[in-house]
């Protein structure tokens, strides 16, 4: 009696070699794929089955059950992206609808990675790619999600605007913005609202952008004429970049004023590089630096960062900053 036969008697089942085992697994996959095709016939995911299988294969799935689960989940994700209904949903809400678990697609989890891969696959299908992602690389992932109608972070993602009108994606004007325009008031706009807009309109087709909230408030209240204003509030958030995209779509001329320190100059340069329309630095000359100077000494490390300034318009103020080694702040300038 062979050892193999002894084992079969003991376990009461036929031994299967690796080759035969792989064949049986492939047969199971074929049967499952056939049921999958019947279930999702006529839906968007039907046309991208091979691409979805490539995504799953790249994820190093360990067994048949995981493979089947991934294929079903990928189909539900792909078919249910909120953008297909011109909607936006928070990530936790989307996760709950698809899986029943609001944390299923958290970034550190395996399904969170899988969701991101399916999103990138769908964007490639539509040939939609976030623009100029190399300028603000930290926002690339958020922009990919937003393109599918999924909001990762909205509570802290907003811009402050004044004297701005907005057209929604359905072609209607946003009546809330109309009201704030009429009331001559500033308003804080979250990303969830911005994502529903198609374009932004400003007075005289000009937008004046400042970095600091206190300067923004003073500009809104004390300007000699009514102008459209925006506050970036330090480093741009995704909401700020989306607003810049909407302004560019409307052909708006942008004027930007930031703090006159190394970080402020670098932010200004990035925004200039990012904006797709006509852009001008505003109150960022050597004369403005002299008015804004404080007693705060700029460290050698911060001075070193001025080497990343490549825009010739900012060279004079950057050189003066190297010599004086003092930080300048918008609040000390009377911006009009």
105-164: per-residue pLDDT in tens?
988 878 999 999 999 999 999 988 766 567 888 788 888 999 999 998 655 689 999 999
pLDDT range class, residue 302, cuts 50, 70, 90: very high
pLDDT range class, residue 21, cuts 50, 70, 90: low
How many Cβ atoms are within 10 Å of 84's Cβ, its own excluded?
A: 13
| Beta carbons of 239 and 190 less than 8 angstroms apart | yes
Rounded-to-integer distance, Cα 283 and Cα 334, Å: 9
Residue 246, pLDDT score: 95
244-287: per-residue pLDDT in tens?
999 999 999 999 999 999 999 999 999 999 999 999 999 999 99
Domain ranges of the chain: 17-126, 157-332
What is the H or E stretch that residue 44 is in?
none
Mean pLDDT of 75-89: 94
306 alpha carbon, distance to own chain's centre? 27
Average pLDDT, the chain: 89
Share of the chain above pLDDT 70, in %: 90
| Beta carbons of 70 and 56 less than 8 angstroms apart | yes
* Alpha helix stretches (DSSP H) within the chain: 3-11, 18-39, 49-58, 64-79, 91-99, 110-126, 140-147, 175-183, 191-194, 213-222, 238-249, 262-274, 286-292, 300-304, 315-324
Q: What is the DSSP string of 262-320?
A: HHHHHHHHHHHHH-SS-EEE-S-SHHHHHHHEEEEEPPHHHHHGGGG---GGGHHHHHH
* pTM beyond cutoff 0.85: no
157-332 CATH pick, 2.40.50.100, 3.20.20.70, 3.40.1360.10, 3.30.1360.30: 3.40.1360.10
209-220: per-residue pLDDT in tens?
998 888 898 888
129 alpha carbon, distance to own chain's centre? 11
Mean pLDDT of 12-17: 62
Any idea what DSSP says for residue 180?
A: H
207 by DSSP, 3-state: which? strand
């Amino acid at each position: 009696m062979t050892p193999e036969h002894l084992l079969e008697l003991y376990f009461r089942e036929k031994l299967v070699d690796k080759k035969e085992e792989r064949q049986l697994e492939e047969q199971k996959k074929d049967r499952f794929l056939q049921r999958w095709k019947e279930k999702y016939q006529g839906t968007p995911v039907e046309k991208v089955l091979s691409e979805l299988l490539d995504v799953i294969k790249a994820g190093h799935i360990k067994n048949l059950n995981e493979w089947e689960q991934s294929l079903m989940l990928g189909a539900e994700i792909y078919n249910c992206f909120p953008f297909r209904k011109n909607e936006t949903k928070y990530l936790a809400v989307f996760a709950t609808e698809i899986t029943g678990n609001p944390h299923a697609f958290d970034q550190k989890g395996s399904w969170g990675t899988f969701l991101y891969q399916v999103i990138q696959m769908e964007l490639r299908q539509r040939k939609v790619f976030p623009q100029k992602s190399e300028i603000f690389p930290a926002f690339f992932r958020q922009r990919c999600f937003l393109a599918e109608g999924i909001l990762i972070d909205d509570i802290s993602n907003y811009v402050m605007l004044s004297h701005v009108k907005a057209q929604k994606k359905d072609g209607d004007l946003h009546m809330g913005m109309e009201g704030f325009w009429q009331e001559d008031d500033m308003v804080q706009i979250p990303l969830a609202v911005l994502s529903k807009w198609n374009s932004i309109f400003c007075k005289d087709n000009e937008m004046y952008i400042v970095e600091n909230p206190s300067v923004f408030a003073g500009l809104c209240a004390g300007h000699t004429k009514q102008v459209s204003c925006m506050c970036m509030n330090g480093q741009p958030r995704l909401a700020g970049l989306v607003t810049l995209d909407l302004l560019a779509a409307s052909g708006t001329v942008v004027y930007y004023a930031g703090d006159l320190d190394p970080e402020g100059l670098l932010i200004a340069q990035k925004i200039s590089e990012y904006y797709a329309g006509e852009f001008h630095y505003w109150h960022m000359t050597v004369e403005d630096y002299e008015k804004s100077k404080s007693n705060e000494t700029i460290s050698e490390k911060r001075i070193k960062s001025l080497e990343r300034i490549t825009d010739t318009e900012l060279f004079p103020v950057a050189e003066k900053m190297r010599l004086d080694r003092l930080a300048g702040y918008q609040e000390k300038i009377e911006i009009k």
